[in-house]
A and B are shown apart, each in its own frame.
Chain A
């Protein structure tokens, strides 16, 4: 199928009748995924958003339920968001990250109704990356600029139009409101050519990394690679796969709500025990945990690396602590292919 770029605003507007539509929009000099009020708000020439769209399914702040206590007793009202949503323009790396989040929120021990209801009701419309950024390394972590994992539709930009690949029934349904035409043989060839010419320059070597991490918990290397980290959460909050949260009650008198907020392993209070003991007392242990969680623990539990190579942590780090260099240092090789 083919949809022209000119028709995208109309397509999004028509989707708005049945869905809450999220799309990349400009905020200052960067891009964010936001619920749009008009199809023309969406921008199409963006590299990727500052903060990943994971927050649409797993909000940074989410009210789980509200409560009220009066003479009759306690009253609870659960807040489950079951609105139909479309995320338009999600990049393949971010779509893949949602597959990783699925492992966390839907497994044999626990099913999270808040996340799963949203997940069930959300259609992912991806746009492939014709020009990956210099910080992208998706191909090193089993992804790619046109990877279709988890997507319902994939759009391939061939100039003034997109070739649409329909991947699921959910995607097919969404497409019914679009002014589509059939893709010609030339269009298909153009799409194939585009896919071929998109190159991800930056590479990370994961061969044997897991084995190294299995045994280097007490290695001195953690002292040196964590040395410049200042311990903020710019990396974890801009990471599409980070999923740690903290639950608090926010109360005013007898009313209140229970809220789930993103939390970060980089914060000192993340692991503090009731006794006051903190098993990760300094930045070194916290930094080690972040690397271990992504490249060892998550593999132990879910058999997948918890990194999709989007490069946001590299771009957002205030001190330019680059995960590619960290992994290369762990691998013990000087070889870096940072472009």
Chain B
């Protein structure tokens, strides 16, 4: 892991020293155990602040839209897919971007780690290549990283960046797409699905962290904020409106969502959001063989029309 960290720092230092970019966006050590934080590095000597470990969870593509500066960015597989998807939507000018690609073995899920520690406060944590050493006031624990990977990382099919200017390490092995989780949920009865989703969405506090953490959510005015007309009620206690909010948010990402998991990670209330976003990832794949942010030449799934597009939604006649 420290090999990658050094390589990232060297790459950033070089870019800044040679004035190829104005800023490098990467990760720095956060203020709490198990946290790293997005960092904006502007001087070559500050490049040593950059870090790389299993807590670099944020999707940095979120900071790249409509920027005038020349930016160097440290990306994982998922971030690179978001960048590619945003380039297709003319949100990112590739000429102003230098992509430092990092093959990613997955980021941890802080919520799962908290569960393993029974909610007790972790006061120190150390990341090694494949394990976490956690210390609390009255406990010490070693956890295998693979056991606490975020679900989006455990299911990831593009660990290696799909677009980059330089890659700082050897590629890692990719795995096959597996939608078993979504298939299992589809197999449940309507009542069961309703019950589960209304239980999950009852936790929503409408902080919109899911929306703001998503690199693909960039409408100038979001439908939830709009008051004339008011498309959806603003009350967090109305579970039905919370569901409507999610339905529209998720559907807006249909064929565009790269399943990076940023929405779910950002949710302070721990709502299972990927059960919704992944459904559309699966549908886009099955219906149109479309995968967002993988190839520049692929046409956007819902912005194109072919005469032989599947039409399972039509009324049977």
Contacts and interface: CB of A to CB of B under 8 A. Distances in A.
Contacts of A338: 31
Contacts of B115: 29
A269 B225 contact: yes
Interface string B208-235: 1101110000000100011100100111
Given A27-B203, A234-B268, A318-B209, A228 B63 contact: yes
Given A234-B266, A248-B227, A320-B37, A261 B121 contact: no
Contact of B37 (A234, A316, A319): A319
Interface in B130-175: 137
Interface stretch (A114-122, A131-139, A289-297): A131-139
Contact of B205 (A51, A224, A230, A318): A51
Given A133-B121, A261-B236, A315-B32, A232 B270 contact: no
Interface stretch (A141-149, A298-306, A321-329): A321-329
A131 B123 CA distance: 12
Contact of A268 (B38, B114, B221, B235): B221
Interface residues on A, range: 35 or more
Given A61-B237, A264-B207, A318-B265, A134 B37 contact: no
A60 to B, nearest CB: 5
B62 interface: yes
A134 B32 contact: yes
B63 A30 contact: no
Contacts of B36: 320
Nearest to A259: B235
Contacts, number: 119
Contacts of B238: 61
B119 to A, nearest CB: 5
B212 A268 contact: no
Given A28-B270, A250-B235, A268-B221, 9 more contacts: A60-B236, A131-B137, A133-B121, A224-B40, A232-B207, A232-B212, A233-B206, A238-B268, A248-B230
Interface of B: 30-32, 35-40, 58, 62-63, 111, 114-115, 119, 121, 123, 137, 203, 205-209, 211-213, 221, 225-227, 230, 233-238, 265-266, 268-270
23 contacts: A27-B203, A28-B111, A29-B111, A29-B119, A30-B119, A60-B236, A61-B238, A131-B121, A133-B121, A134-B123, A228-B37, A232-B211, A232-B213, A250-B233, A267-B225, A268-B225, A314-B31, A314-B32, A319-B37, A320-B30, A320-B32, A324-B31, A338-B31
Interface of A: 27-31, 46-47, 50-51, 59-61, 131, 133-135, 224, 227-228, 230-234, 236-238, 246, 248, 250, 259, 261-262, 264, 267-269, 314-316, 318-322, 324-325, 338-339
